[in-house]
Structure 1
């Protein structure tokens, strides 16, 4: 291995030095390449592919070098807590906006939908609370979503982009009382 290494060492040094601007790091990388090649020589399938194999090891070692150098600052511990708090607050605000519309749905669909979407109860627990089978609870939540969507579409025009709903405006529905709770929020 040592004689083959000497044949390719100069070319490998040029390859590495074109990609790394620190001369000391070039020597370290070449040393790592030699160690990796020596320890994994049993993986080389034929001696004719030694040069390509050495270059692949050199390339991977260079990538490892750059991955290790990437500076980063750890996130502050309180950052995650703030995001969680904001998410909970946003969910509560949305729940206050949507609750009156969900309450307008027939009770057999409104209750499972409110439990699932606003209170975060699992469908299994909804089934137990309401004395339904799991498939019955899933069906009621799904039908509640469909009815809720129909109600929303009857009351509002939505502006949608690739990120979802960005805005909505009141439809001219005359005196449709079922739209009043939603439209009072706008």
Structure 2
């Protein structure tokens, strides 16, 4: 391996130097490529493909270098974190707005959705109680969710963080009335 490495070393150095201007970093990356190639020599399938294999390792090492190098600004220590209480309060207000929005849905979607999501019934039980097939009940629940989502997005703008709704702002008159009525109840 050492003899083959010496024959490709200068070409690899030039390749790295075209990607990175700092000569010390070029040498560090070249050394890292040699270590990776030595450690993974058993992965080389044919001796004739050594050159392309070394270039692949080199290219990936350069990509890793730039990924690690990404600068991030430190956040200030005094940055306010969303309190769980505020998030819980937002959920209560938002859940209070769901009932009026559910009432806007046609009965064929509203009833299966309420039974499934609010009453906690299985979709099989929803199907049985409404005289529907299981696939019919599932379809109505899914369509009800989609229509409820459309209504929610039409009424409010949502702010998300880590998969949770951290805040929302009503954007329609209906949304504002609901928001004000429910906010008074929980604040």
Distance in 1 between residues matched to 2:56 and 2:47, nearest whole Å: 15
* Structure 1 position 29, deviation (Å): 0.8
* Corresponding residue number in structure 1 for 2:61: 61
Larger Rg belongs to: 1
How do 1:1-186 and structure 2 match up within 5 A?
1-72=1-72, 78-79=81-82, 85=88, 88=91, 91-92=94-95, 94-101=97-104, 105=107, 110-117=110-117, 119=118, 122-124=120-122, 127=125, 132=129, 139-140=136-137, 142-143=139-140, 166=154, 185=174
Distance in 1 between residues matched to 2:154 and 2:31, nearest whole Å: 56
| Ranges of 4+ aligned residues in structure 1 off by more than 6 Å | 74-77, 144-150
Counting matched residue pairs gives 154
Q: Tell which has more relative contact order, 1 or 2 (C-alpha 8 A, sep 6+).
A: 2
With over 3 angstroms needed to count, the CA separation of the structure-2 counterparts of 1:8 and 1:116, relative to structure 1, is same
- Conserved in 2, the CA contact under 8 Å of 1:113 and 1:140? no
SS of residue matched to 1:78: coil
* Structure 1 position 22, deviation (Å): 2.2
Distance in 1 between residues matched to 2:107 and 2:99, nearest whole Å: 16
Q: Please identify, of 79-88 and 11-20, the stretch whose mean Cα deviation from structure 2 is larger.
A: 79-88
* Structure 1 position 105, deviation (Å): 3.4
TM-score normalised to structure 1 length: 0.57
Question: Aligned-residue CA RMSD in angstroms?
Answer: 4.7
* Structure 1 position 113, deviation (Å): 2.3
* Structure 1 position 115, deviation (Å): 3.8
- Conserved in 1, the CA contact under 8 Å of 2:116 and 2:141? no
Could you list the runs of 5+ residues in structure 2 that have no partner in the other structure? Answer: 156-172, 176-187
Distance in 1 between residues matched to 2:115 and 2:47, nearest whole Å: 67
TM-score normalised to structure 2 length: 0.57
* Structure 1 position 48, deviation (Å): 1.6
